[in-house]
Every structure is written in C-alpha cells, then in structure tokens.
Structure 1
Amino acid sequence: MSEYSLLLNRCNEVYFTVSGTFGKYRCEPTWSWQPPSFHDYDVWYAVSGQGEMQINEVSYDIQPGSCFVIRPGDRVTAEQNPHHMLTVLFCHFIVNDITKEAAETLILPDKRCVNFREMSAIEPLLQQLIELAHRQAEDDPIEINLLLKLILTRWIRESERQSMPHQSYYHKQIILKIQDSIRLSLSETVNYESLAKSVGFTARYVSKLMKEYTGITLKETVTKLRMERAVHLLTETTMSVTEISSALGYTDIYTFSKLFKRHFGYAPSRLRSLHPADTGNDE
C-alpha cells in the first residue's frame, strides 16, 4: 500500500477540529511569516499573489493554487513578492483519534505543497471551512470534520498525481477524456479516427494507450461502456431490450444480446427478469 493510501486510511480513522486561528486575509505590504514551531496542523492556501515558503528548510514557490499542509513541529518561514501581494486562506486544526480521544499525528509526504491546476477543486471547500469556523453553530463541528477530510483527501490525491511521471499522468487524462466522449455518444456509430483526433493522436496509438493502462483496447472500451449503460437501462428504466439495443447503437438485438452475454455471462433478458420494471414487449 502506498504512503498516500495509508494516509487516506488514517484520515478515515480520526476526526478533525479547528484550533487556533483561521481566516482569509490579504497580506500586509511588509508581511513576512516566521511562526514558532507548530503545535497543531495548518492548511494554508494562496488565492492570489506570489512568494516563497520554506518548510523544514525545503523551499517552495507560492502561486495561486498553492496549498500547503503543515504539521506539528515543522519549521516554517515565508515571504511574499511585494509587487504581487498574497491573499491567503488558512485554518489551524488538530487531529483526534476516534477511540482514544487523544491527539494523533498524520504521516505527511515530505513535499508539503500541492499546486492545484483546478483551483475550484479546493478553494470553495476552504472558503466553506472558514465560514463555518467563524459561525461556530452547534452542528458545525460535524461538517467541519467532513470538510477537512475532503480537503485533505483532495490534497493527498493531487499530491499523488503530481508525484507520477508527467507522461503517465498525461496519458491517463487522455484516457479519461476518451471515455467521457464515448459515454456521451453511445448510440452513435463510432468513428475511431475522429475520436482519437480529438485528443491529437491516431486511433491505433489511443488503442495502445488504452491497452497499456486499462487492459483493454479502444474498441473493447466502447463495448464495455455500452454494456455498463445497458445494465443501468435494464435495471432502472422501462425500456425494452429491443429499445435498449437500438439506443446503444446496435442494429439488431441478436448482436447486442450476444455481446451482453459474452461480457456478463448471462443474457440481458435474465437481468431484466430480476428487475421486472419493463412494461414494453421484449423481442
């Protein structure tokens, strides 16, 4: 199990509570940060501006989307670019063991900074966290715990992705884009070259990537996604098997049923018999 998986599992075993300071501020013109050694955790995020932070003598550039998680005992200093002053969101928190009710530690990756490419994945969550911390209503600790878990989960996932070789990450993004395109056009005849051209490659190269990362080719991926959709339509709609076959781009029910049985080991009519919502006539 990777260090990221271990950290995610640990986050599920504890609960988080706000401690110390939190807020959203635009740093003052002469601002520099040299806090004493931390006794709690701090999630620190740059909304705008530029600067540099050192954590345990490791330097990180600060830019919009930079998100740091600082743990107890860390030695931290930071400076901003006076021509691009920082606006930051931050929140101190502590980690409590669910059973022991005692402060516990999280073993964080050595690299404490993640630069979010999609700032919308993290910034609104931090904003909600700080609003809840300011409000301090009776039920807010539950939501604060869940928000911090979600923030840390996204931080860990992004940290893991950025530790991957760039080419590997890039290839996986291509695969996800192709899969999304297929899902949106399951009823259409697939033009494999046009599909691959949308990500700048040939169908042969995309199929090779698919096989390498998912274990199945591009053509097999189309069938797999159609069969997954077929299960949903068979179990959650009143469409007949014939209608489903046509809706998924098959010209005859025989071909659809044959592929379905090959994929799942039983006929679509058997699955439908277990979910008798259908009011049409299956042919």
Structure 2
Amino acid sequence: MDVLSDILRSVHIQGSLYFRTAFNAPWGVSVPRYSNVSRYHLVTRGSCWATVEGHDEKIKLEKGDLIFVTNGASHDLFCGASDPPFLPVDAVVQESGFDGTGALVWGGDKDGETTALVCGHFEFDHERGKMLLSELPPYIHIPNTEIMHYKWLEEAMRFITHEAFEREPGSEAVINRLAEIIFIQSIRTYAKRSSDASRLFSALRDEQLGRVFEAIHEAPEENWTVESMAKAGGMSRTAISQRMNEVLSVTPMAYLTQWRMELAHEALLSTREGIPEIAESVGYQSLSAFTRAFKKHFGRGPGEVRRKGPAG
C-alpha cells in the first residue's frame, strides 16, 4: 500500500492558468490572500524575488524555478530595485491593458531586465484532503537544479512553457492538467526533504509508524484498536501512542478516525452507495455513531454533504 498516493487521491484540485507575463524591471506585484487556493509561478526567463505572508525570507527565483504558495497566502513578486513600486495584481492587469490573450507586459524601464513567468492557481474543496492540505508548508520552492533531477518533470516544465507561449487550441486544458501533475510531484519532492518535511510526511518515513499507516489504509474497515495498530507496527501500546503524539500530535485512534472520515466524504460525493453502507465500509456498525463522528469532523452531517455536494 502506497500511503502517500492514497492520501494524495483524497485531494481534489482544479487547475486554472492565469497568464504568462513579461515584467520589465523595476516592478512589484502583490497577490492577495484567497481561501482554498494554491498559486504557482514558473520562471521562464530572467529572475525575480518572492516573499510570502508571515515569512521574512526573500526567495530568489531563477529561470526554471517553480514556487507554489500552497495555502492561498498573500505574497509579493518583485525585481529590479530595493524598494520597487508594488501594485495589486488586479491593478496590474488593468493598468497593462491585458485582455486575456498573449503576455501581460508591465513594469518600469522598457530596457530593464525582463522576467517572464507562467502563473496559475488551483482551487481546492477544503473538506476533501484536509489531512494533507493542513500539513503543507506555506510555500514549496523547487529550484531548477532540483527539477533537473527528475527528467520527466523537467520535460513537463518545458512543455508547459511551450504551451503557454504558443497558445494553440486546447493549450489551456493541457497546461492545467500538467500543472496538477506537477503540483502532486512538488508535494512528493517536498515529502522527501528530510530537513523541512512537516509532521505527516515525517511520520510516513518512520519505519514502524509507516507499517501502521499501511495497515490502516489497507483495511480501514477493520475493528482497529490501539493494541492491534501497535502490533501492526511491531510496537507496544505505550510506544505507538507516544510516537504518534510526538510526530503527529494525535492519538492512534484520532488518526484512524480522520482517515475514515476522509474516505467516507469521498464516497458520499463520488458513489451512489447508501450512507449505512458507507458507514460500514469505513468501520462503523452504528449509523448514529458514524453520523456523530462525521459531523464532528466536517461540521455538517453526511446527508447534507450528499445533498449539497462539496463545500463552497
């Protein structure tokens, strides 16, 4: 069982291309905060800097670099001056006269350094994939040197750049699908970084906890107890409880419940199974117990989710 792939499948994203840019230095663009959105910027020419809300670090973006601002945080992109003129992105679009076709051209000196970007975003259903999305860092920066280690990823970046600039029929759909794949690959790349990976990814790399997660994801409907989970990981009850608390700040039973709720939510939206059958498929023999757990986790009951669909 590939637990990370299992978790990634629970995330539903829809890509959308903003535009490609040609910014002439000095320039500065402020992108506002949006909920349930991840934005990405791929540098195809030149370089620039980025800062992300809540972080003092200035991130240097070179040609071929990719940055995902994962949680919709506001962020700034700029180049060419220590204190460049910043404008909100909507004002930049309006001031540049961009009509949605070609490149958005804007900035200061026409002879200044040109930075070309491919920019887009993903929208998330915040109820689906909560386990993963809550564990992502504010941003994921993948430098071109790291991208080059993954030949197919490097080719995908090149293909996105080509499609964005050629604008052939169907190019936006191609870009959006490729970007969704690249987003998932970026998460995988981040998960492999032992230095900065967050709690969930660190837990997945833990040999004993990894066996526990595999067992749970393989058979979420089983009548799991702390003792049986500990046995799956070759640990004692005390050890698994301590380790889960240290790494994930949850109890073993809380993790089990969280994953079961993710599976149930997905089944409600993507299948025609009855709610009692879905409850049983994730280990609940009592429909009332399932309904209480579901409502506690999502803030609304399974019947409402089925009737109204994804949360807005």
* TM-score normalised according to structure 2 size: 0.41
* TM-score normalised according to structure 1 size: 0.44
Larger RCO (CA within 8 A; separation ≥ 6)? 2
**Higher CA-based Rg:** 1
